[in-house]
Amino acid sequence: MTSTTTLVVSPAAPVTDQPVTLIATVTSANPSSPPSGSVGLQSDGVAIPGCTDLTVQPAAQSATITCQTAFVSGSYALDASFSPSTGSVLSASSSAATTLTVGLAPSTTSLVVASEVDYDTPTTYKAIVSAPGGSLQLLEPSGTVSFLDGDSTICASRPLISTVAICTVRYDSLGAHEVTAVYSGDSYFAPSTTSPVPVTVGPIPPIGFVDSYVSWTFVYTPKYTTVGSLIVSGVRVGISIAVACHGHGCPFAFHTTSVRPAPTCAVDRTSACQSPGTIDLTTIFRSRHLGVGAQVTVSIEHPLWLGKYYRFTIRSAREPQVTESCLAVDMTDPGVGCSSG
């Protein structure tokens, strides 16, 4: 007596490592002779592990068995074979071959990055490539990851080791960057790319400190103030002094002085010599009347030292309000990237 075997695969278009359910149905030609025996499932003529000798219990004219497995990307010819039990009146049967095409599994790449990194210090970026959720996790992505800063490659083809790739860089300038990790994919997993992650290279660490200081006197009235004296002492070669003036009565907007070795000079009755290491800024204000609300700022900077910043805000009938702060190397905003304490 004949039997018929069919095979259904679900889902019909799986990806690598995704669970696949194989459903084999054996039907007897005679309702009074239900099928009994076993079913084996094959892929390209080779038994599928875990899907062999699956027992068919006689209960009705048709019996169904299921087996769950997974495949890697590629094309497969699947079939099911029924072997009747000893004494059964049914004949053996096999299903028609079912072609199954398995695609690349999607991958997800994430990037572990600090939002702010230090200038001229080794910085490590870590990319993690993950298999999709719902997979059997029998395989893990392999291949390489490249790291980009904007459109420029900073680490090319770094190997994945246990799904992690590492990139170490050192920045020699300040500024903002956008870092991206690009996974190349492999035989089983599709490529993937992270969104750009913003990174800021922080202030240059100082190797010294400006120890110059500013002394001042002001003559003030209810309507205006004049600079009596404004002197920077303790200056050294390499220091630059920037003076800005904003508001009513300012004789200039910006004035800079670079400190050079002080020349020797003789003091006599008709001339005065500026002391070495001292810069007198008084004369640049020309005894102008600075209106209430005007601001004068003095920045003392050095390319490799933590600098100083002074701000004088003109007030009515009293001394200007004075604010002191620090200046980080290569920074223009006082107090940013440094501590005034």
* CATH code: domain of residue 232: 2.60.40
Q: Do 124 and 218 share a domain, yes or no?
A: no
- The pLDDT of 168-183, averaged and rounded, is 93
340 within some domain: no
Q: Do 92 and 184 share a domain, yes or no?
A: no
Q: Do 232 and 296 share a domain, yes or no?
A: yes
How far is Cα 190 from Cα 141, in angstroms, rounded to an integer?
A: 9
How far is Cα 69 from Cα 268, in angstroms, rounded to an integer?
A: 103
Boundary (domain end) residue, out of 57, 72, 102: 102
Residue percentage of the chain with pLDDT more than 70:
94
Q: Are strands 98-102 and 123-130 parallel, antiparallel or unpaired?
A: unpaired
Q: Do 218 and 322 share a domain, yes or no?
A: yes
pLDDT for 116-127, tens place per residue? 998 888 999 999
333 within some domain: no
Q: Do 249 and 186 share a domain, yes or no?
A: no
335 within some domain: no
Boundary (domain end) residue, out of 176, 201, 226: 201
**What pLDDT, on a 0 to 100 scale, did the predictor assign at position 263?**
52
How far is Cα 32 from Cα 280, in angstroms, rounded to an integer?
A: 117
pLDDT for 112-160, tens place per residue? 999 999 888 899 999 999 988 877 778 899 999 999 999 999 999 999 9
Q: Do 231 and 283 share a domain, yes or no?
A: yes
Q: Do 71 and 12 share a domain, yes or no?
A: yes
Mean pLDDT of the chain, nearest integer: 91
Residue 269 has pLDDT above 90, yes or no: no
The total of structural domains in the chain comes to 3
Boundary (domain end) residue, out of 43, 68, 102: 102
DSSP label of 285: G
Asked whether the whole model's pTM tops 0.85, one would answer no
Residue 207 has pLDDT above 80, yes or no: no
Give the H or E element holding residue 299: strand 295-302
* CATH code: domain of residue 72: 2.60.40.10
Q: Do 247 and 283 share a domain, yes or no?
A: yes
Q: Do 215 and 184 share a domain, yes or no?
A: no
Q: Cβ of 141: how many Cβ atoms within 10 Å?
A: 24
Q: Do 190 and 176 share a domain, yes or no?
A: yes
233 within some domain: yes
User: Is residue 23 within 8 Å of residue 7, measured between CB atoms?
Assistant: yes
**What pLDDT, on a 0 to 100 scale, did the predictor assign at position 341?**
59
Domain that holds residue 96: 3-102
